[in-house]
Amino acid sequence: MESKPMKFCDTETVLTYMEPNFRFNLALEIPSIRKAEKAAPLHINRLEIEDNVITVNGAKYTLSVLQNFFGMMKESKIDFDKYGLPIDTDAIVLPGDVRLVEQGESGPIDYDAEERKVERCLMQLEKEGKRGDQEKIAFMKTDLLAFVCRRNNIPLASCSIQLDTDEESSLFPYRIKIYEMMKKLLTVFFGNRKVEWGINHLTLAPNILRWPVNGLKPTVKNLEISGYTNFKMNALKSVVDENTSFPLNSLTVRMHDDDTQNVNHKYANEAKMLILYPSYDFVFSQEALLSLQNPRVVFHDRFPCDAYDNVLATWMERGCAIGTHFSFRYKAAESEVRSVLHWTGNRVEVLEKSKDCIKLLMKNGAVLVVTNHRDTYVEFGRVRSISHIDMKVVSRYG
């Protein structure tokens, strides 16, 4: 029986239900299906983008630079000039790129000062002579070699760019930088899309996203970002389809020390769930906590009990919309939390209480349910368990 070639529309159907990574690799190896691949719907469960790593549904594509300092090998995840000195790639924006962090003012690099700094660190390490520091010392010596190369205008003997996947490693001449290779990979995977495509969970970590120039933007349902500024939130409309992505099912923000406390951008306010990871030194003000408008807010931070006290007192006095649900991860000892819950249970507004649950009547007639429980969540691919004080506003009459 004579076989017939697969029609274009049949190819699209097959590609639509194919695992994304297998699909990308197939299109790279078979040029004849590339047009169909771009025209077929694409569904990705989880996409994570860093400066030098793309992770698609758990499969990693990692870029690094291998430097050969006259026989001394060094691997790095940042770009270098011909002498082996780091390049400020945050100052380089290509067509289609999306800047997620405002560019600060920076003057020319004082290479002499940088060299002296490395020399001081090297001398300190050699003086201490700690076991296990030999690798650091060797790396610092290669750093010093780069300054010598620059001073004498001697390029590195060799330098390569390496692409690691779960299955293999590939080496290329260092004629293309990491940021340029990231651009190429993201364009191969996601550029020139002709039909709607979607991402269930998108994580963005870089300062500059090396996004494709052409093609439809994805529909994103859950977004995770590193650092919160209105500048970054405004930039998101250049990354995702604004009409189909917002409101988000969830927005996760890993706060930095210098971030604004007011998480009040339209995209953040409208998210059905707001998940906040403040950094070690970041503290929310009372005003910032009470200004959050999301129906579900989770603080993955060890909050002091007085933060919970203040929010509870304000909600009891002012009232709060039914369905509002805040969770505080507490840093106090179990005994202190029990003490706080005991104090809450002695309020005159108490309707019902047990060991781990208290129900209070609010001034607006709604009921505030306060519970102490343990919860699980996934962080960096690991399931963790933490303690929460939960506050949820419900109707008194069910």
Instruction: State the chain's mean pLDDT as an integer.
Output: 86
Which pLDDT does position 280 carry in this prediction?
Answer: 67
Contact call for residues 149 and 157 (beta carbons, < 8 A): no
Contact call for residues 375 and 295 (beta carbons, < 8 A): no
> Token pair 């970590």 is at which residue?
205
- Please report how many Cα atoms fall inside a 13 Å half-sphere around the Cα of residue 394, on the Cβ side: 12
What Rg, from alpha-carbon coordinates, does the chain have?
26
Give the range among 106-110, 180-184, 241-245 with minimum mean pLDDT.
Answer: 106-110
Which pLDDT does position 125 carry in this prediction?
Answer: 85
Which pLDDT does position 1 carry in this prediction?
Answer: 45
Q: How far apart are CA 19 and CA 235, in angstroms?
A: 30
> Token pair 């020139």 is at which residue?
192
193-224 pLDDT per residue, tens: 999 999 999 999 999 999 999 999 999 999 99
Sign of the CA dihedral 234, 235, 238, 241? negative
Contact call for residues 83 and 150 (beta carbons, < 8 A): yes
Among 125, 145, 146, smallest CA distance to 137 is for 125
Looking at per-residue confidence, does 268 or 319 come out higher?
Answer: 268
375-390 pLDDT per residue, tens: 676 766 777 666 778 8
The yes-or-no verdict on residue 343 having pLDDT over 90 is: no
Domain ranges of the chain: 1-39
The yes-or-no verdict on residue 40 having pLDDT over 50 is: yes
The yes-or-no verdict on residue 64 having pLDDT over 80 is: yes
Residue 382 burial (CB count, 10 A): 7
Which pLDDT does position 304 carry in this prediction?
Answer: 64
pLDDT tier at 331, thresholds 50, 70, 90: low
The yes-or-no verdict on residue 354 having pLDDT over 60 is: yes
The yes-or-no verdict on residue 106 having pLDDT over 70 is: no
